[in-house]
Amino acid sequence: MALQKRTVWVLVAGQILGGLGIGATLSIGSVLATEVGGSEAWAGTAATLSTLGAAAAAIPLGRLTRRYGRRISLSLGTLTALFGAMVTVLSAAMDFFPLMLLGFAMLGAGAAVGLQSRFAATDVADPRHRGRDLSIVVWSATIGSVIGPNLFGPGEVIAEWFGMPPLTGSFVIAVVAQFAAVCVYAFALRPDPYLVSQELAAAQPDQDTAVAKTTSGGVARNRSLVFMTIGILGLSHAIMVSVMSMTPVHLVHHGTSLAGVGLTLSLHIGGMFALSPVFGWLSDRVGRFPIILTGQALFVVALATVAFGDESMTLVTVGLIFLGLGWSASTVAASALLGDLVTGAARPVIQGRSDLVMNLAGAAGAASAGPALALVGYPGLAVSAGVLVAAIVVAVLVVGLPATRVRAERVTSSATTE
């Protein structure tokens, strides 16, 4: 469908621009927070407030989509992030830390837009390619995530040109990038994919219901599967964030240079996004649950590697790559499954709740990882994360696969009777 191809490419462009802005700001946000806050204790506020801001924006953006469509929702969310970058610059000029916290929280709306964009790619997608289209949008975030943190140098030049406070030049880049993203969403995302999907559903309700049943194993309205899928997204994110957030602390404590830490995190980000189209394609071909379980297997490899190789930077780096791959497989497949399960007007609201849970789980994972590192060390942290992996595997085996098999048997029996 031409509309779907256009939608995916518009979302990819918006993701690149939005990711560029977020990457440029959050990469230097911790340093700026330390300077304005007056203590290294405030270094984590940029990531924390951004995550909480993304969580707070998730459901409102979903409700906006339900009422006005994706175009308005994504545009307003990106505009909020744009104002967040401006507020952050103003707070640095005023040397007023509470205002800076507000700016970081507003920047989180950009992350919420990134999460909602992956669902926007599924609105009018062919059910046979839903995972592939979603994963392409997820993959596009790699570009901004990789380029953004490297804009510190140009940001310094911009700050000097305009006589701005040091370290704030990257936020000017964010403002420009976010403004461009707003224009892309507002003017290029036409016709609106969500509104078109609703029109198609209203025009062909019987066909829509049949598609939902066949593509999701006949469990489009199975609440237990919806709750389980949202739980998988949240727990997978918590596993990744908890280990990733403490890895720099662990590596520095063992004498690794900052350059080495940066390389490890860059390879981890590559693992998160680079192969997402492969996992999306596989989830379409072999099924959502097999790829979710593949993601958990990759998590096990990652956690075992960092637990037994915690003294080696090389092994920790390898573990972080597998950690990113596990997150990618689990998140892409579970997001596609949620798109299968939820249809109609409920879709954007449920997707918003999913993003809320995902962000809160990530914040909880990051908050609990510090005490866990202090109490049981880096290997103990990895073992603790393994408990969450076990919970996901049990949920898929006990709830997911049996429900899919039962419904498939019913559909087959009904077709035979007819």
DSSP 184-217: IIIIIS-S-HHHHHHHHHHH-HHHHHHHHHHHTT
How many CA atoms lie less than 13 Å away from 324 in the CB half-sphere?
23
**pLDDT tens string for the chain (418 positions)?**
788 889 999 999 998 888 776 666 655 666 677 778 776 566 566 777 888 888 899 999 989 998 999 999 999 999 999 999 889 888 888 888 899 889 988 988 988 898 888 888 888 888 888 888 888 988 887 776 667 666 666 777 887 887 877 667 777 887 888 899 999 999 999 999 999 988 887 776 544 444 344 333 333 457 889 999 999 999 999 999 888 878 877 787 778 776 777 778 778 888 888 889 999 999 999 999 999 999 999 999 999 999 998 888 899 999 999 999 999 999 999 999 998 888 777 788 888 899 899 989 988 887 788 788 888 888 999 999 999 999 999 999 998 888 666 555 554 444 444 4
Q: Supply the Cα-derived Rg of the chain in whole angstroms.
A: 21
403: tokens are 């429900």
- pLDDT, position 30: 63
Q: Are 353 and 59 in contact (CB under 8 A)?
A: yes
* Phi/psi at 182 (5° precision): -60, -45
Rounded CA separation 335/328 (Å): 10
Q: Which two tokens stand for residue 113?
A: 């837009």
Render 235-273 in DSSP notation, one character per residue: HHHHHHHHHHHHHHHHHHHTT--HHHHHHHHHHHHHHHH
| Of residues 316, 296, 297, the one with CA closest to residue 306 | 316
**Residue (of 148, 134, 133, 137) closest to 15 by Cα position:** 137
Tell how far CA 386 is from the center of its chain: 21
Q: H-helix or E-strand containing 218? A: none
Contact 136, 117 (CB under 8 A): no
Domains of the chain: 1-200 (1.20.1250.20), 204-418 (1.20.1250.20)
Q: Global pTM?
A: 0.79
Q: What angle do CA 81, 265, 122 make, to 5 degrees?
A: 50
Tell the residue number behind the tokens 């995190």, with chain if given.
265
